[in-house]
Amino acid sequence: MPASSDRAELSTLRSQLEELARRAMTVADRYDDTPDSQIASDLYAAERTLLNARRSLDRAIAALDDLTRS
């Protein structure tokens, strides 16, 4: 069924987004409370965007799950 392969693809994307968000935060933490704190601020904003994208994927995955149960 195509929905199951799509779900696997979306799950992979979700994992990648989580990893990217974690990596952005790790770098941001190094610049927090420094004269270059704008870098941290920008990276924290990128992290939030990545986490919002992950939530969108979560909703899509849930919709696919509902579709396969119907």
Distance separating alpha carbons of residues 43 and 26, to the nearest angstrom? 9
Q: Whole-prediction pTM value?
A: 0.87
Question: What pLDDT tens digit does each residue of the chain (70 aa) get?
Answer: 577 899 999 999 999 999 999 999 999 999 999 999 999 999 999 999 999 999 999 999 999 999 888 7
**Residue 34 phi, psi dihedral angles, 5° rounding:** -125, 170
Residues of the domain holding 6: 2-69
Q: Do 65 and 7 touch, CB atoms closer than 8 A?
A: yes
DSSP structure string for 47-58: HHHHHHHHHHHH
Q: How many domains would you assign to the chain?
A: 1
